[in-house]
Amino acid sequence: MQTAAKQMGTLNTNTRYLHENILRYSARLTSLFPKPLEVCFLVCSGTEANELALRMARTHTGKVGAVVLDGAYHGNSSSVINLSPYKFNGPGGKGLRPWVRVAAMPDCYRGQHRGEEKEVAPLYAAEVRQAVEALESEPTWFGDQPPGAAAFFHESLLSCGGQIPLPEGYLRKAYEGARAQGAVCVADEVQVGFGRVGSDWWAFEEQGVVPDIVTLGKPIGNGHPLGAVITTREIADSFDNGMEYFNTFAGNPVSCAIGQTVLDVIEEEGLRENAARIGTRLLDDLATLGARYPWVGDVRGRGLFIGIEFVRVADEIEPDASLADSIVQKMRDRGILLSTDGPDHNVIKFKPPLIFSESDGDLLISNLSEVFAETPF
């Protein structure tokens, strides 16, 4: 608030006018990424970031198609709604577009391939390769010419899919399959970036890969409308084809000052370390609590990005959305707000602010323990 007020009281302009804030902020932000991710495009939201990433991928590859993961959500514009099975296969959706292919969510618990991460990761990654190959070979409304695979889009942890961490080794194999056909790999870090996973600044780093494009939003401005696309010099140069990219407000002095302060707070207050410490404790406590109740099917997550999946006692993988909703309502009556997610709405999600403390965790666990104890089975 103080940062915004100070910069607003000094100067704000549209981005046709040069200002040192955009230079300082872009340099600092890109310094947090592995090479060769070194070019920053600023936007106003995560939706805009994914829209721009799609444009970049298409321009760079000369293709139009995209592979996405089932259950994904990448934003609310027309193009990225078509990259979001969570929306286009939901109420009011118009279904799959001819230039999109969907690969299965890499869900080791209830997905089509179940078991140990190292065993199922290659099976799920093979689906990405097959989807990319289908875009390269199957004609659509484009006539005899297939759309081709411009990009493989993925969230670095699946949010609307039900708080699902990617199995170990998955992205490495999936990237190999996508890049073999010339597609670029786009990591959507809108919900899980900026240290939420605790171990790293960006969730894709846990997989030991480097995407071609990374999209950022939501926490980048702590509520202020700000987003970014981080990419390689090669892709940025191919995008510089004469069709000028211009965004009136993205990268304005106020937005960049706010972005700088968000990074200051994360670093100075040790919020990444806090997410790792508190997240580990929460996962342990939730797993211990869940082990007492047969309707807790799975507890999973990374850092402060955690899900509890509820299932029916009679069938350990049959989703129980009504139970999950009942627990959410009982916690609300106690003054604690939770919500559900996942294709079957049977996963309670925990994505608290990164300042979430040990005492906050104690309050959450103690109330959940009481609510669980009141729930018959």
For residue 33, what are the domain limits?
Answer: 2-268
What is the pLDDT confidence band of residue 143, given thresholds at 50, 70 and 90? low
- If asked whether residues 328 and 186 sit together in one domain, one would say no
- The C-alpha atoms of residue 290 and residue 305 are separated, in whole angstroms, by 17
- If asked whether residues 213 and 331 sit together in one domain, one would say no
- If asked whether residues 95 and 209 sit together in one domain, one would say yes
- If asked whether residues 174 and 103 sit together in one domain, one would say yes
- If asked whether residues 189 and 151 sit together in one domain, one would say yes
- If asked whether residues 257 and 276 sit together in one domain, one would say no
- If asked whether residues 301 and 252 sit together in one domain, one would say no
Q: Which of 236, 268, 300 is the last residue before a domain boundary?
A: 268
Kindly report the pTM of this predicted structure: 0.95
pLDDT for the residue numbered 319: 96
What is the pLDDT confidence band of residue 353, given thresholds at 50, 70 and 90? very high
Are 199 and 303 a contacting pair, CB within 8 Å? yes
pLDDT for the residue numbered 1: 75
- If asked whether residues 259 and 131 sit together in one domain, one would say yes
Task: Tally the C-alpha atoms within 13 A of residue 316's C-alpha that lie toward its C-beta.
Answer: 6
Sign of the Cα torsion 76, 77, 78, 84 reads negative
Q: Which of 268, 293, 314 is the last residue before a domain boundary?
A: 268
- If asked whether residues 228 and 296 sit together in one domain, one would say no
pLDDT for the residue numbered 16: 78
Q: What is the pLDDT of residues 239-266, one digit of tens each?
A: 999 888 888 889 888 999 999 999 999 9
Separation in Å, CA 351 to CA 189, 191, 270? 14, 9, 17
pLDDT for the residue numbered 377: 66
- The C-alpha atoms of residue 117 and residue 376 are separated, in whole angstroms, by 32
Q: Which CATH number characterizes residue 207's domain?
A: 3.40.640.10
Q: Which two tokens stand for residue 337?
A: 């707000």
Identify the helix (H) or strand (E) that includes residue 230: strand 227-232
- The C-alpha atoms of residue 185 and residue 173 are separated, in whole angstroms, by 12
- If asked whether residues 264 and 279 sit together in one domain, one would say no
Q: Which amino acid is at 260?
A: Q
Please count the structural domains in the chain. 2
Q: Which of 268, 296, 327 is the last residue before a domain boundary?
A: 268
